[in-house]
Chain A
Amino acid sequence: MATVSKRLVLHFPKRLTNEPIVYKLVKDFDLEFNILKASVTPGEEGLLVMELAGEQRSYDKGVKYLTETGVKIQSLSQDVVWNESRCTHCGACITLCPTGAFSVEPKTRKVTFDNNKCVVCELCVKACPPRAMELYF
């Protein structure tokens, strides 16, 4: 049985912010989770960025459950985009990224951005001097 591991951005509407949704993903669907970022605005929307892993069938069921309860799901990799034409390759982002999504090619010292490592913490978006990191919702 194939297993999957995906990083998702979950938007919880106000009515769901008190529900034990992640608990159910573990208990009812046997999925593993790793919370990368979470924020709940009191009385408003909840945002959860997490890695969800498990068997493909369970994963699909889990995602179906989330959708049915009213959670909006976005794939994570599309959220922070590197606008390479605006990047000056200074490297200011390198040490700020908590997951090491940026790296410097040792010889040319050019910066690269690995979308797969990005957890959309958004630290780079405002800290990039030429503002080459763009946030898409």
Chain B
Amino acid sequence: MAKTIAEINEKIKKGQAVVVTAEEIIDIAKKKGISQAANEVDVVTTGTFGPMCSSGAYFNVGHTKPRIKLGGGKVYLNDVPAYTGVAAVDVFLGATALPDDDPKNRIYPGEFRYGGGHVIEELVAGKDVRLVATEDVRLVATAYGTDCYPRRKLETLISIKDMNEAVLFNMRNAYQNYNVAVNLSDRIIYTYMGVLKPKLGNANYSTSGQLSPLFNDPYYKTIGIGTKIFLGGGIGYVAWQGTQHNPSVLRGDNGVPRRGAGTLAVIGDLKQMKPEWLVGTSFLGYGCTLTVGIGVPIPVLSEEILRYTLVTDAEIFAPVVDYAEAYPQRKPDILTEISYAELKSGTIKVQGQEVPTASLSSYPGAVEIAGILKEWIKKGEFLLTEPVAPLPGVESGIVFKPLEERPIP
């Protein structure tokens, strides 16, 4: 029996919706059968909690007296530079931004203790400070001065409450599948996939597998532009497909991509988010980023949609890639494909060698997010939205282009 989102929302409002997580649905369908499970279950919740670099936030900090035009000037939040190439008092802070005086990799491997992601975490923390700083962030700015915006310097404390708008806007999150990173070289390497020990010393992966949003809706049949989601502990929306969204990759018989594929651009009011789900993160020798918590509800509109949510770690495969040579040199070489069940077992076999595995994405975090979202929906606090437009699917023919450099005459 097919359902509509409107019908499911009616049940949610009455507190009657049957909501389970993408982990729980696997056993439910085994016991009850797909048909009965599709009839009974209204929503399947998913979750992921991992480092996502294409994240950031924009702020409107309010107008000073006399006015200052930060646009085209320079703005620092706790010494981390923000982008100002917009209107007078709007700024954008990216998760990977670093203070100008950070030694970066000049002292190799750089520690990258504090960057844009940490500023976002501290702003969101308000009084529940988890790092050493106070709830106030130092804003230091210089401007060039105009007739209508005469001021040239600004130094002030500011908190998220002082700002008119503070909006998390992440250009690429929730990657549908990702590489498993290894190191074939004979020296330790420091990557965005963590510290990789030489000669296949370890293998790092980074998705929540069977709980991951886009693994449970591999063809984007329910998740679209306008889908309401759990974002950073609050409510957000899918704003667009994420950058590098690439639905055309190799897929398994179950429709699940075997390579990095779809992505989501997401947006939400930072003021209602929580620092537990937006964590400033540092990768030794690589840089700073933000660990973002995302949960997407999947309305069980049909048996087909339910079937997709039954995917297990054993049926999801990721490519193993050498980050010493193949990745940096943009070579397409894949060493092997490994299922998430094998990855979670603690060791995988690559080139005949036993390699211990570790995750960069937090599975306990993903479980908790899927659980929180489930509770919100069950209590009637979170209604589902109808997407206003679909994400580009396999039929879009999207080609993920590399940059082919051309000489400037």
Could you tell me which A residues sit within 8 Å of B by CB distance?
85-86, 88-96, 104, 108-110, 123, 126-127, 129-131
Whether the pair A130, B279 counts as a contact (CB closer than 8 A) is yes
Residues of A within 8 A of B365 (CB): 88-90
Q: A109-B344, A109-B363 are in contact. Are A92 and B194 (CB under 8 A)?
A: yes
Query: Chain B 337-373 against A: per-residue CB contact (8 Å), 1 yes, 0 no?
Result: 0000000101000000000111111111101000000
Q: Is B113 an interface residue (CB 8 A)?
A: yes
Whether the pair A108, B195 counts as a contact (CB closer than 8 A) is no
Whether the pair B357, A127 counts as a contact (CB closer than 8 A) is no
Whether the pair B195, A127 counts as a contact (CB closer than 8 A) is yes
B102 CB to nearest A CB, Å? 14
* Contacting residue for B194 out of A86, A89, A127, A131, CB 8 A: A127
Residues of B within 8 A of A89 (CB): 362-365
Residues of A within 8 A of B195 (CB): 92, 96, 123, 127
The A-contacting residues of B in range 228-257, CB under 8 angstroms, are: none
Whether the pair A93, B358 counts as a contact (CB closer than 8 A) is yes
> Which are the 6 A-B pairs with shortest beta-carbon distances?
A95-B202, A109-B363, A89-B364, A129-B281, A95-B356, A95-B358
Interchain Cβ contacts under 8 Å between A and B, 21 examples: A85-B130, A86-B279, A90-B362, A91-B358, A91-B363, A92-B195, A92-B358, A92-B359, A92-B360, A94-B356, A95-B197, A95-B202, A95-B357, A123-B195, A126-B111, A127-B284, A129-B281, A129-B360, A130-B279, A130-B281, A130-B282
Q: Chain A interface mostly helix, strand, loop or mixed? A: loop
A67 CB to nearest B CB, Å? 35
Whether the pair A130, B280 counts as a contact (CB closer than 8 A) is yes
Residues of B within 8 A of A94 (CB): 356, 358
Whether the pair A129, B364 counts as a contact (CB closer than 8 A) is no
How far, in whole Å, are A126 and B362 apart by their CA atoms in the complex?
A: 18
The A-contacting residues of B in range 268-309, CB under 8 angstroms, are: 279-284, 291
* Contacting residue for A129 out of B203, B283, B346, CB 8 A: B283
Residues of A within 8 A of B358 (CB): 91-96
Interface hub of A85, A95, A109 (most chain B Cβ within 10 A) = A95
Q: A126-B111, A129-B281, A130-B279 are in contact. Are A86 and B362 (CB under 8 A)?
A: no
Additional pairs, 17, CB under 8 Å, beyond known A88-B365, A92-B195: A86-B279, A88-B49, A90-B291, A90-B362, A92-B358, A92-B359, A93-B358, A94-B358, A95-B202, A96-B195, A96-B197, A104-B346, A109-B367, A110-B364, A126-B109, A129-B291, A129-B360
Q: Is B319 an interface residue (CB 8 A)?
A: no
Interface residues in B, total, Cβ within 8 A: 34
The A-contacting residues of B in range 35-87, CB under 8 angstroms, are: 49-51
Residue of B nearest to A91 (CB): B359
B92 CB to nearest A CB, Å? 23
Q: A95-B202, A127-B194 are in contact. Are A90 and B359 (CB under 8 A)?
A: yes
Residues of B within 8 A of A126 (CB): 109, 111, 284
B361 CB to nearest A CB, Å? 6
How far, in whole Å, are A130 and B281 apart by their CA atoms in the complex?
A: 5
A135 CB to nearest B CB, Å? 12
Residues of A within 8 A of B51 (CB): 129
Residues of B within 8 A of A90 (CB): 50, 291, 359-362, 365
Residues of A within 8 A of B50 (CB): 90
How far, in whole Å, are A89 and B113 apart by their CA atoms in the complex?
A: 19
How far, in whole Å, are A131 and B118 apart by their CA atoms in the complex?
A: 11
Residue of B nearest to A85 (CB): B130
Residue of A nearest to B109 (CB): A126
Whether the pair A86, B130 counts as a contact (CB closer than 8 A) is yes
Residue of B nearest to A132 (CB): B279
Q: Is B170 an interface residue (CB 8 A)?
A: no
Residues of B within 8 A of A110 (CB): 364
Residue of A nearest to B359 (CB): A91
Residues of B within 8 A of A123 (CB): 195
Q: Is B204 an interface residue (CB 8 A)?
A: yes
Residue of A nearest to B50 (CB): A90
* Contacting residue for A92 out of B204, B279, B280, B367, CB 8 A: B204
